[in-house]
Every structure is written in structure tokens, then in C-alpha cells.
């Protein structure tokens, strides 16, 4: 990386000699280890080391990008390519340059040195323990069979570098731990399955095993699941499903770019009561070792913790440097890229939904007709522009008069997230869970349309 870093610096210095007024480099060096699981065993193991380098250049309000995975060879050739691409691009009238004069970043750690130092053998042991913990509860409860049919465990260590020709120079080392396992279990001849995921910047073996055990305990609840009658049902979304739904149907609406370009229902609603007063949502880059925890964004701008919704009122929106300049305000440290040469667009670091006072058990007790939604698919096809939210429930529990009566699968839940989170919101749980770059409690939503039999 040291050799590559000095090449990147050289590249930025030489950019101006090639006719580019500004240049920005975003580079990632990644070392990763991954183990895939099939039928309780490892089916393959991967170790890899990679570079992914993005360059963006600008002159006369024209901006272009080049992505490569190697700087072997002539740096001048890359710059000539970048100049040629940039020259081809028409002017962006709103362009006001790459970031300049940034304040210092806060101390936010995103690196777990212990997991980075673990050998392949040690990681395999962790994976084995997680699989055993997942299988143990159903076997203890008399299941004839419990098997981890599929899964994956990966540990990644990345060095991220952001440099631009205005003197911005940031570098950080982050780790990323992702594990997901799918369990199949059989009891009394009936089959059920359950999937769970662990996704953080650190490996907490105790937390991982607790999660595996908890999900293993849930598995047998879904034996003989089937669709139910169509109708209106209250929904209790467990934290995992809250995180999944809000990430796709709500989070993009806080992007300043989407607001500027007429793709957000929150346009013009800053300061308004849009949501239920029990709802507070923040952008929080400092949650301890969560997947989106980071000291700066992909432009080198320091990240900051701030509420976007406070007691139902829209308090702030998320900016990249570009959108902040367009709206004549300060960048918020939310400029992230889809890949290294892509322009940064605003998104959450970690989206935190503040916990409330309720509990899943309380919600169930108070429901006359509802579904506790444990796993969903297709939620990513929800639409953040309209707020239209839809998902198919693969693991649900039907509740009637305060009691769980049977498991449910294959039904579609649908509605609008702005209705669900305003007059539809009946309860916010205290059971906060961190799931990747989202942290959320359970939510109880009133009378949602369900399509079933």
C-alpha cells in the first residue's frame, strides 16, 4: 500500500500538468478471508487482496472519472485517459469543486485489530461455534434434524485513502465482519428454516453466539407455515425487518440530491411534523463498530451525529460536498460512493431509530389480529420516491386476541411508509438491535393491507 500511496500522491501532483484543474482520488486496498458453508461444512474458502482505485478530474465545470485496479505502468497514461473522459463531459452548471479546507475528524474507530490478526484456522473455529449454537436449540427441543444448509463468513480489512488536489488527505483502516447462516430443521416430519445475519466492524464472539442461539430458538416456530386470508392486520416488525424496510423505503428520501432533483417526498418539509411524535431517527457514524461507523465520508469530510427526525419533525437532511454547495450550506459528511470513480451521493452512515418503551411481548398481548414479521424478501423493491412499501413475508406469526396462533409464509404486506410511521405507528420497542448500517427497535404498525389466500 505504501508504494501505491506514493503513486497516488504523485498522480494528484501531476494532474494539473495534464490540463486538469482539480483531481480527487479514492482508493481502497482490501485483504479478505471468506468461508462458504453447505450442509454444516465449509464448501470453499477464499483469501484475496485487491486494489480498487477511482480518480475524478475536473476543469471548466466538466467532471470525469476513471476506475482501475492497478497503478502498474505509466501514471501519465491514466491521467491522459482521465483528461480525455473529463473533456468529453458537458459542463455541470452547479459544479463548485472538490472539498477544500476540512475540519479535523473526531476519534471514531472502525478497526478491530483482533479480528484482522486472526488466522484462517481461528476464523473457522468461530464459524463452527456459531453453527453449533444455531443448531442447538431445535435439537434440545426434540427436533429430529437441524442442519446449517447454507451460509458465509467473511472478514475484510480495508485501507481507505482520499486525496485531492486542494490538499485534503485522509486515510483510515476499517474492518468488516459479515456472517449469515440458514438453518433447516425437522420436527414431527415437518420442516422449518431460519436465517440470521451478523454484520459489524468487529467480531464479538459472545454477541454472535447469542444471536445464533436466539434465532435457533425461533426456528421451530415456523413449522407448517402457510398463507393466511387477505385482509387488514396489525404488523409487529422485529428490528431486522424494520432496518431492511426503512433502508429502502425511507432512507433515500433524506438525500439532499434526491430533494434537489424532485425525487423525495420530504422536499420542502424541513421543520414539519411528518412522522409520529414517538419517532426519532438519527444519522450516527459513531455507533460502536457498526457497519457504517466511520470518521469521514468518501470525500474526506468528517462525519457527524445529527437527528434527521426528532419527535416526528424533519430536522435535517444529508449532504455530500456537491449538494451542500448547491444549497449553500455546510457538508454533513454523508457523501458516499457506489464504487471508487463514482460521484459521491448523500446517504446515511448508520441510520439509528431511537428505541421506545414497548416490548414485542406487550405488542402481541394488545393485538387482536396481526402478524409478527420475522423475515421478509423483496423489501428492496419498495419505492423511496413514493413511500410505497412492499415485501413478502417468509417468516411470520399470526396473532389473534393477544396470542400467537400459527406460522405464516407467502403473504404480501403493502402500504405507504409515511402512513405507517405517522398515524399508523402504535408502538416503538425498547429492543434496539444493530443490523449492519441500521440500528432499530421493533415497531407496531396499525392495520396494514395483507394479500394472502
Binding to another protein (CB under 8 A) within 412-441 occurs at 412-415
Window 204-233: residues binding another protein (CB under 8 A): 225, 227, 230
Half-sphere exposure of 271 (CA within 13 A, CB side): 1
Window 58-97: residues binding another protein (CB under 8 A): 63-70, 72, 81, 85-86, 88-90, 92-94
Applying CB under 8 A, does 271 fall inside the site for another protein?
no
Which of 22, 24, 112, 193 is in the footprint of another protein by CB under 8 A? 193
Applying CB under 8 A, does 117 fall inside the site for another protein?
no
Which of 377, 400, 405, 423 is in the footprint of another protein by CB under 8 A? 377
Q: Classify the C-alpha dihedral 391-270-286-210 as positive or negative.
A: negative
Residue closer to another protein (CB basis): 103 or 145: 145
Q: With contacts defined by CB under 8 A, how many residues of the chain interact with another protein?
A: 88
- Please name which of 242, 244, 236, 216 lies closest in space to residue 408, comparing C-alpha atoms: 236
Which of 119, 142, 189, 328 is in the footprint of another protein by CB under 8 A? 119
Residue closer to another protein (CB basis): 302 or 436: 436
Contact criterion met (CB below 8 Å) for 272 and 366: no
Contact criterion met (CB below 8 Å) for 70 and 6: no
Residue closer to another protein (CB basis): 359 or 388: 388
Applying CB under 8 A, does 155 fall inside the site for another protein?
no
Q: How far is the CB of 95 from another protein (least distance, A)?
A: 9
164-167 own/partner pairs: CB under 8 Å, 24+ apart? 164/12, 164/22, 164/23, 164/24, 164/25, 164/98, 164/99, 164/300, 165/12, 165/15, 165/16, 165/20, 165/22, 165/23, 165/24, 165/98, 166/22, 166/97, 166/98, 166/99, 166/100, 166/101, 167/100
Q: State the greatest distance between any 2 C-alpha atoms of the chain, in Å, as a whole number.
A: 75
Binding span for another protein by CB under 8 A among 255-263, 312-320, 346-354, 359-367 = 255-263
Q: How far is the CB of 361 from another protein (least distance, A)?
A: 25
Applying CB under 8 A, does 265 fall inside the site for another protein?
yes
Which of 6, 10, 13, 44 is in the footprint of another protein by CB under 8 A? 44
Residue closer to another protein (CB basis): 108 or 253: 253
Residue closer to another protein (CB basis): 56 or 211: 56
Window 276-335: residues binding another protein (CB under 8 A): none
Amino acid at each position: 500500500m505504501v508504494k501505491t500511496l506514493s503513486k497516488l500522491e504523485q498522480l494528484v501532483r501531476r494532474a494539473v500538468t495534464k490540463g486538469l484543474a482539480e483531481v480527487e482520488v479514492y482508493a481502497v486496498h482490501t485483504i479478505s478471508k471468506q468461508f462458504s458453508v453447505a450442509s454444516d461444512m465449509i464448501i470453499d474458502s477464499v483469501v484475496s487482496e485487491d486494489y480498487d482505485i477511482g480518480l475524478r478530474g475536473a476543469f471548466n465545470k466538466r467532471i470525469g472519472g476513471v476506475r482501475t485496479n492497478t497503478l502498474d505502468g505509466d501514471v501519465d497514461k491514466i491521467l491522459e485517459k482521465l483528461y480525455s473522459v473529463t473533456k468529453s463531459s458537458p459542463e455541470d452548471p452547479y459544479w463548485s469543486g472538490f472539498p477544500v479546507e476540512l475540519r479535523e475528524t473526531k476519534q471514531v474507530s472502525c478497526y478491530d485489530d483482533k479480528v484482522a490478526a486472526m488466522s484462517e484456522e481461528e476464523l473457522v473455529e468461530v464459524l463452527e461455534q456459531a453453527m453449533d449454537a444455531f443448531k442447538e436449540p431445535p435439537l434440545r427441543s426434540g427436533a429430529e434434524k437441524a442442519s446449517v444448509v447454507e451460509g458465509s463468513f467473511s472478514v475484510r480489512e480495508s485501507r481507505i485513502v482520499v486525496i485531492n488536489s486542494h490538499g485534503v488527505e485522509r486515510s483510515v483502516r476499517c474492518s468488516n465482519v459479515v456472517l449469515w447462516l440458514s438453518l433447516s430443521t425437522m420436527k414431527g416430519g415437518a420442516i422449518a428454516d431460519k436465517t440470521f445475519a451478523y454484520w459489524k466492524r468487529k467480531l464479538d464472539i459472545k454477541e454472535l453466539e447469542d444471536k445464533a442461539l436466539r434465532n435457533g430458538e425461533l426456528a421451530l416456530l415456523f413449522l407448517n407455515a402457510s398463507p393466511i386470508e387477505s385482509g387488514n392486520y396489525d404488523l409487529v416488525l422485529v428490528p431486522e425487518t424494520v432496518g431492511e424496510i426503512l433502508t429502502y423505503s425511507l432512507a433515500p428520501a433524506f438525500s439532499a440530491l434526491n430533494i434537489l432533483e424532485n425525487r423525495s417526498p420530504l422536499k420542502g418539509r424541513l421543520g414539519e411534523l411528518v412522522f409520529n411524535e414517538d419517532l426519532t431517527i438519527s444519522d450516527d457514524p459513531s455507533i460502536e463498530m457498526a457497519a457504517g461507523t466511520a470518521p469521514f465520508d468518501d470525500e474526506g469530510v468528517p462525519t457527524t451525529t445529527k437527528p434527521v427526525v426528532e419527535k416526528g419533525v424533519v430536522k435535517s437532511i444529508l449532504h455530500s460536498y456537491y449538494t451542500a454547495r448547491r444549497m449553500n450550506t455546510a457538508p454533513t459528511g454523508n457523501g458516499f460512493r457506489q464504487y471508487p470513480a463514482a460521484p459521491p451521493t448523500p446517504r446515511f452512515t448508520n441510520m439509528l431509530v431511537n428505541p421506545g418503551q414497548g416490548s414485542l411481548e406487550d405488542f402481541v398481548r394488545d393485538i387482536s389480529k396481526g402478524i409478527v414479521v420475522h423475515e421478509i424478501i423483496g423489501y428492496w423493491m419498495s419505492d423511496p420516491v413514493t413511500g410505497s412499501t412492499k415485501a413478502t413475508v417468509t417468516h411470520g406469526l399470526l396473532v389473534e386476541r393477544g396470542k400467537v396462533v400459527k406460522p405464516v409464509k407467502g403473504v404480501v404486506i403493502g402500504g405507504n411508509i409515511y402512513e405507517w410511521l405517522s398515524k399508523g405507528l402504535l408502538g416503538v420497542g425498547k429492543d434496539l438491535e444493530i443490523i449492519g448500517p441500521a440500528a432499530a427497535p421493533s415497531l407496531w404498525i396499525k392495520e396494514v393491507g395483507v394479500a394472502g389466500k
